[in-house]
Structure 1
Amino acid sequence: MEGLEVLLRNPAGREQTRGLAVVVITLTVLYWSYAYLLPSLRLSKIPKAGKDPGFLASLFGIGLAEAKRDFKKNGLRILNEAYLKNKGSMFRVQTLNEERVVLSPSYIEEINKNVPEGVLNVTDGLSERLMGPFTNLDVVFNSDMHIEVCRSPLTQNLPKLIAPLREEAEYWLERRIPGDDAESELNVHELIVRVISGTATRMLSGPEASRDPEWLETAALYSYDVVVVAQTLRHFHPLLRPFIAPFLDSKKKLDKHLGVAKKTFRGLFIQRMEQQDRGWDFAAGEKPADMVQWMVEAAKGSDRDLDVLAMNMLFMTLAGVHTSANTTMHALFDLCAHPQFAQPLRDEIQEVTDQDGWTMAAMSRLKKLDSFIKESQRLNQTVLMTFNRKLAKSVEFADGTVLPRGTCITMPSVAVSRDPTYFENPDEFDGFRFYDKRSATASKSEANRQSFAAIGPDNLAFGFGKTACPGRFFAGTQIKVVLASIILRYDVSFPKGQTKRPENIYKGGLIQPDPRQKIVFKRRVE
């Protein structure tokens, strides 16, 4: 302080101080211009959809709140209109999180061919949207282990999982739906979330955890609490978030969920690691086909920490429980709204399982059921946009457009799913649309392209390319097992007087089936 006082009393010192202040201010302006203003200016030639907060939003946030409110209320309309207006090109939209550049499917081939996988960063954008540092998800995102175990061992072991999934689905359906011949009117959200949580947990670790009520409650609520934390913290300046997060009730719930995950899986992880150290000496024969096993085999370095492994198990519920539950609920709503599909589906399921049992071969032969689920998903997706990536490097497209490093890109999967270019009568539900397409072609590759888990320009629900959702094959199998079990055993319908499915609930970029809807289940008597 004394040195500063001397400088200020000295005329030369005052000049030096003013000069230093000018340098600091200049550098600050240059930094803000480089970090915030220049990227906005580079993207300014790309059309903007929805309310445009203007370039000052990049610096001061002026107009940003209004643009976000507009997207939260009108996101579906904004994206559909902008997609049709800018077909074959791209546009910008301010979402609840950040501005994204929405690419047409026409860019898919170019991206697959010319853009390295490492440039399309999945985790940075996901961490920002889900507030990774405060939801503990950065522990998962710091590694690719969760991606690799879904891409390889999970998919490769699907044949071993069919029977356990069927057993688990039957277990929860028996306990949640009364066993007499009377009709049972049940909240379908509560039923399906429990069935999907149970079957997902059976894949994670086996029957012990899948029957544990404390863990199943965590599996059902964890995704919701992550979203609440992220949405709450988004309203505060980044510098304030570390001080606010610990006091949020939803953050305390996340910490409780992590504690449950540690208690549920810690012993299993320790047991498998000890078996690994002994060279996998499984007394009962072959090693288990579950996520605990695959993670222990894949984990290296810090990923072997028990807390990290527990967080990965929680992330699996975030990635899979509610997305699969929502898809299953949508399919049930469509079955109630279009009951003419019930008997053909039931006949196919009965015939195939009589011949092949509950096996992977049987699942691959359920082509009508696969088509029904895919058509339901086409019209009722879980999000408005997929393929959400943050560019690790600048990308220049063949049309001359340059997207700078740090740009968040996405694709309008819902708008594409109703594009008449790809689908005849796109707003009409046709449960066997994809079954008919399969039957009409002699090409095996074209037939496979009609399957639920297939990806392409006309089906962006799972993303595309090398970074497409690695768990989609398990999800498709799980949903088939659950729906097949229900269709064989029950007649389903809406409550008396209702014939149309409920309207979906749109919240920004999220799409949700109405959680209040009830369905009538009546046990079939053959």
Structure 2
Amino acid sequence: IPTVGGPSLPLLSYIGAVRSLTKTMDIIQEGYTKYKGRCFKYAEPGNWCVVVTSPAAVEELAKAPEHVLSFHAGAIDLIQIPYTLGPDIAHNSYHIPLIRTRLMRNAARMFDDIHDEVVSAFSDHWQVQSAKFERGARSRTSSLVCRAINRVFVGLPTCINADYLAVQKGFTINVVLPAAIIKLFPEFMKPLVTKLCCSIPGSIDRVGRHLKTTIAERLRVADSTTENQHHDEKDTPNDLLQWLIETAPQGHERTVPALVLRILVVNFAALHTTSTMVIHSLYYLAAHPEHAAALREEVDRVVRADGWSKASLGNMRLIDGF
């Protein structure tokens, strides 16, 4: 596989690895220009990154089973999960099937809460008539998405708490930056480097200040109620935090710090992927304003007929395609 960004020889490859810390876009563009339709690689701290540009090869990779190409194993290496997020997250991802089942099953029932939070967040963060509307679009979008997803994750009033939201929005940097530093060192030094550069315990403490009372009370109720009684209880909270409490294995995972870390991890996975998608949709719409009228007409027509619901969103074909 051809190399771009620096030499491929042992030790000398660190030249390209250091360059990749600040020039990744330039390196990838160089590789794409030279090797379009093929594969190329460039050095990153601690590993090589292989870029595939052939549509056929991309399709083959997409269809590869988990035991051949593992997303989970790739994530563990990419963000150094055993060191940044800890071995519990690396080796017991019980929250993932929980999201795939409980969240999807409850999506329609939670739609009104999400819609309410999106409307409130738009009112608080987006002033369309302001001359400064075009500034800070990414930050405003991140705030909107963070509030909406945390309405589902922890509910009101925590999902609108400014300090809580600030920790969630900054958590990505607190994971990605230490991971990049940790990858520079050999395995035996990584635990020490983690202690020196990782600020995640501080994030857990800050979020814990907002959630510890709620978690402690919910754990008390869960521990004093049988499973059948628990599911019959109509006023049981219906959010991710509650599902984690109901599913977490006995022992350390049923403590405030462990549950707070799960909330942080799920936010880490959900926040920036969703906000990036939303902000790029806005950028594309700003670049092609001729599509705005058709999109607006579809939304008005569907909402007049069906109101705001998960089903009505499914009928917005142009919005989905855009």
Q: State whether TM-score is above 0.5.
A: yes
Of Structure 1 and Structure 2, the greater strand share is in 1
Match status 1:98 vs 2:47: yes
State the match for 1:271 in structure 2: 217
Q: Aligned equivalents of 2:34 and 2:205: distance in 1?
A: 45
Query: CA offset at residue 130 of structure 1?
Result: 1.6
Match status 1:121 vs 2:70: yes
Q: Equivalent residues in 2 for 1:201-220 (5 A)?
A: 201-220=150-169
Query: CA offset at residue 221 of structure 1?
Result: 0.5
Retained in 2: the 8 A contact 1:275–1:282? no
SS of the residue 1:160 aligns to: coil
The amino acid that maps onto 1:291 is L
Match status 1:338 vs 2:288: yes
Query: CA offset at residue 344 of structure 1?
Result: 1.1
SS of the residue 2:263 aligns to: helix
State the match for 2:265 in structure 1: 315
Match status 1:80 vs 2:26: no
Q: Aligned equivalents of 1:109 and 1:195: distance in 2?
A: 34
Query: CA offset at residue 178 of structure 1?
Result: 4.3
Retained in 2: the 8 A contact 1:169–1:195? yes
The amino acid that maps onto 2:264 is L
- The correspondence for 2:182, drawn from 233, 241, 247, is 233
SS of the residue 1:345 aligns to: helix
State the match for 1:365 in structure 2: 315
The amino acid that maps onto 2:256 is L
Query: CA offset at residue 126 of structure 1?
Result: 2.1
TM-score, normalised by the number of residues in structure 2: 0.84
Q: Aligned equivalents of 2:86 and 2:70: distance in 1?
A: 16
State the match for 1:258 in structure 2: 204
State the match for 1:48 in structure 2: 2
SS of the residue 1:48 aligns to: coil
Q: Aligned equivalents of 2:286 and 2:59: distance in 1?
A: 38
Q: 1:119 to 1:224 in 2, by over 3 A?
A: same
Retained in 1: the 8 A contact 2:5–2:27? no
SS of the residue 1:94 aligns to: strand
Retained in 2: the 8 A contact 1:82–1:91? no
The amino acid that maps onto 1:239 is F
Q: Aligned equivalents of 2:250 and 2:49: distance in 1?
A: 35
State the match for 2:299 in structure 1: 349
Match status 1:151 vs 2:100: yes
SS of the residue 1:207 aligns to: coil
The amino acid that maps onto 1:317 is N
The amino acid that maps onto 1:371 is G
The amino acid that maps onto 2:278 is T
Higher relative contact order (CA 8 A, sep 6+): 1
Query: CA offset at residue 319 of structure 1?
Result: 0.7
Query: CA offset at residue 160 of structure 1?
Result: 1.8
Retained in 2: the 8 A contact 1:203–1:290? yes
Q: 1:106 to 1:288 in 2, by over 3 A?
A: farther
Q: 1:283 to 1:148 in 2, by over 3 A?
A: closer
Retained in 2: the 8 A contact 1:160–1:289? no
Q: Aligned equivalents of 1:182 and 1:81: distance in 2?
A: 42
Q: Aligned equivalents of 1:287 and 1:310: distance in 2?
A: 19
Identity %: 20
Q: Gaps spanning 5+ residues in structure 2: where?
A: none
Q: 1:112 to 1:238 in 2, by over 3 A?
A: closer
Query: CA offset at residue 334 of structure 1?
Result: 1.6
Retained in 1: the 8 A contact 2:46–2:184? no
Query: CA offset at residue 283 of structure 1?
Result: 8.8
Q: Deviations over 1:312-368 (max 9, x none)?
A: 111112111122112211111221221111111111111111222211111101111
Query: CA offset at residue 95 of structure 1?
Result: 3.4
TM-score, normalised by the number of residues in structure 1: 0.54
The amino acid that maps onto 1:323 is T
- The correspondence for 1:130, drawn from 49, 73, 79, is 79
Q: Aligned equivalents of 2:62 and 2:272: distance in 1?
A: 29
Q: Aligned equivalents of 1:108 and 1:184: distance in 2?
A: 41
SS of the residue 1:260 aligns to: helix
State the match for 1:194 in structure 2: 143
Q: 1:356 to 1:79 in 2, by over 3 A?
A: farther
Query: CA offset at residue 245 of structure 1?
Result: 3.4
Q: 1:154 to 1:83 in 2, by over 3 A?
A: farther
State the match for 1:433 in structure 2: none
Q: Aligned equivalents of 1:311 and 1:329: distance in 2?
A: 27
Query: CA offset at residue 156 of structure 1?
Result: 1.9
State the match for 2:12 in structure 1: 63
Retained in 2: the 8 A contact 1:140–1:146? no
The amino acid that maps onto 1:288 is P
Q: Gaps spanning 5+ residues in structure 1: where?
A: 1-46, 373-526
The amino acid that maps onto 1:49 is T
Retained in 2: the 8 A contact 1:49–1:78? no
- RMSD (Å), alpha carbons: 2.9
Q: Aligned equivalents of 2:182 and 2:189: distance in 1?
A: 9
